[in-house]
Structure 1
Amino acid sequence: MNKQVQVHASLFLVALIYGSNYSIAKEVMPAYVGPFGLIVIRVVSAALFFGIFARFVTKEKIVGRADNMRVILCGVAGIAVNQLCFFSGLNLTAPINAALLQVTVPIVVLIFSAILLHERVGKRKVTGILIACLGAFLLIYTSRGESASGNLLGDLLIILNATSFGLYLVLVKPLMQRYQTITIVSRIFTVGAVLVLPFGFSQLLTPTYSSFPVSIWAAILFMVLGVTIVAYLLNTWALRYASPSLVGAYIYLQPVMAILIAVGLGKDVFTWQKGLYALLIFAGVYLVSRAKQRVREEQKVNFE
């Protein structure tokens, strides 16, 4: 199979897994496990899996102070802050709100790429950023009412989650050029596990796990194996052959899948207001993506 087809297939599967996670996670928390306790289950399980796998398969070491510091930053942004904010936000807000706000990730990637990688930001990109931010602001602002399905604090936490994940995509790219995927992922999750454990340890001990129905255990297993292990592996592997913006662009599929799943399961309602705000977010991200594509065409460089 062509390498580019593999990359796109991997990113599509990641989007499908993440899109399903919005509704599945809402089944588990807070009724069975608190959001921070669920994070500890996910991150520690993944850290053990990746750590054992890396130790016996790759046996690769990360060398140099700069690369080790970058791994720590990736663990903070890509695992600890990302996961804590996402599950805290999802616990409070509606699945569709969370999915729509995740679309801002490519915008965040662009901003951090401009700051850290000195990528040029033109008028079209600035316009796209402003339009997308307007859509996100309106979605968050209208979540304040009692009749709204969203939640103001929850939406803000999802925005912070998207920001940390966008920073992670930019930070991890140079590491993927020098080390194997499993090496990077195992180190990142080890850092993340150490950081999230103090936040979720008490919530981890609270539930009566013997009373959990099979469906809840299946949901937890899906979040550990699918959302945490498989999705992170595929996402990080794809970064070896794709630009951070391409990986970020696949975030567009998440709200589509999340909306279909959430509405299909009766977990949320898709209103015309959310549709309008979603169009603003998508339009802004489209302008940013088109601007990046035009720059690449002018320079005759294929980054994807």
Structure 2
Amino acid sequence: MKNSLKVHAALFVVALIYAANYSISKDVMPRYMGPFGLVLLRIVGATVFFGLLSRLVAPQDRIIGRADNLRAVACGILGIGLNQLLFFSGLNLTSPINASLIQTIAPVVTVLASVVLLNERLTLPRLAGIALAGIGAATIILSRGPVAAGGQDGLLGNVFILLNATAFGIYLVLVMPLMRKYHPFTVLARIFLVGAVLAVPAGWQQVQQPDYASFPASIWAAIAYMVICLTILAYLLNNWALKYASPSLLGAYIYLQPALAVLIAVALGKDTLTLTKALQALLIFAGVFLVSRKPRQPEPVPLEPVQD
């Protein structure tokens, strides 16, 4: 298999794993386990896995220096701890389609964070994209209506998903220097360990409450999927693909994840696709497309010949 085909396959599998999770998680929450309990299982499982893997693959690699260690702590808090706690809390309250569409604005947050933290240019098309994506996300967040979680209103869940996308977008900017400087498994081991510091106290009570003996095989399979596929396999495939994928290719797969999530949710009867949601999706997709386009570099001005 050619390398380019492997990259496409890896990115597609990652998109499919994330897309399926929107519906699979709804089978577990809140009937069998609360959202924080699931987060604890996911993060602790990944912490053990990446901790062992980093020792095997890069035993001598260590994050050193006060600045890098503080950056790793920030990445663990934003990208692992808060990111997962907010995501599963939001998904517990809102619908799979709403969650998948709102989370698509993470690239918009990444660009805004890059402007603030890395002094990137904010062009007119990017401003227009931010406005379009913001309008689309706002209409979803403010839309009210009963969802699967006991008929609760999804407004709070939508807000949690927006905060989740914001935390993840900032995390992507913060983690990039660490990924370039250290082995990816060294970084993942550290940031998951930091995330576990948040996840364990938050989810300890919820992970003790369920009657595990009463769990049907399908629920055990769903939990195993979230720990193994969603947390470990997706991170491994994504980190490998990032070494070879172009920004435009990554941008294309940003749109695939919510599209797959919609198809899976509708096919399984977990959600319905309405004309309003389709229009909201178009606004967000158009905004993310404009934001994801890199600004053109100014052409160099030819030097005037020196006059004697």
TM-score by length of 1: 0.91
Aligned to 1:42: 42
Cα 1:103–1:232 change in 2 (3 A) is same
What corresponds to 1:17 in structure 2?
Answer: 17
SS in 1 for 2:232: helix
| 1:101 Cα deviation from its structure 2 partner | 0.5
Q: For residues 251 and 4 of structure 1, do their structure 2 counterparts lie closer, same or farther at Cα, with a shift above 3 Å needed?
A: same
Following superposition, the deviation at residue 244 of structure 1 comes to 7.4
Identify which of 258, 262, 266 aligns with 2:265. Answer: 262
Q: Does 1:159 align with 2:150?
A: no
What amino acid is aligned across from residue 167 of structure 2 in structure 1? S
> 2: CA distance between counterparts of 1:248 and 1:70?
26
User: How many angstroms apart in 2 are the aligned matches of 1:298 and 1:267?
Assistant: 51
Distance 1:180 1:3, change over 3 A: farther
Cα distance in 2 for partners of 1:209, 1:28 equals 12
Q: Which of 56-65 and 165-174 deviates more?
A: 56-65
Corresponding residue of 1:86: 87
C-alpha RMSD of the superposition:
2.2
Equivalent in the alignment of 1:65: 66
Shift of the alpha carbon at 1:61?
Answer: 1.1
Residue 102 of structure 1 corresponds to 103
Structure 2 unaligned blocks of 5 or more: 301-308
Query: Whole-Å Cα distance in 2 between the matches of residues 297 and 259 of structure 1?
Result: 40
Q: TM-score normalised to the size of structure 2? A: 0.90
Identity of aligned residues (%): 57
- Between 1:232-241 and 1:26-35, the stretch displaced more is 232-241
Deviation for aligned residue 1:241: 4.7
Please name the residue that 2:176 is paired with. Answer: 173
Aligned pair in 2 of structure 1 residues 100, 227: CA closer, same or farther (>3 Å)? Answer: same
Is 1:109–1:248's contact at 8 Å kept on the other side of the alignment?
no
Please say which structure displays the higher CA radius of gyration. Answer: 2
Aligned residue pair count = 296
CA 1:40–1:244: 2 relative to 1, 3 Å? farther
Q: CA 1:121–1:245 in 2, change beyond 3 Å: closer, same or farther?
A: farther
Aligned 1:1-304 pairs, distance under 5 A: 5-59=5-59, 60-142=61-143, 144-146=144-146, 151-241=154-244, 247=250, 250-290=253-293, 292=294, 295=296
In 2 relative to 1, CA 145–61 (structure 1 residues): closer, same or farther, beyond 3 Å?
A: same
Deviation at 1:296, TM superposition (A): 6.0
Structure 1 unaligned spans of 5+: 300-304
Does structure 1 conserve the Cα–Cα contact (< 8 Å) formed by 2:107 and 2:169? yes
Residue pair 1:176, 1:240 contacting (<8 A) in 2 also: no
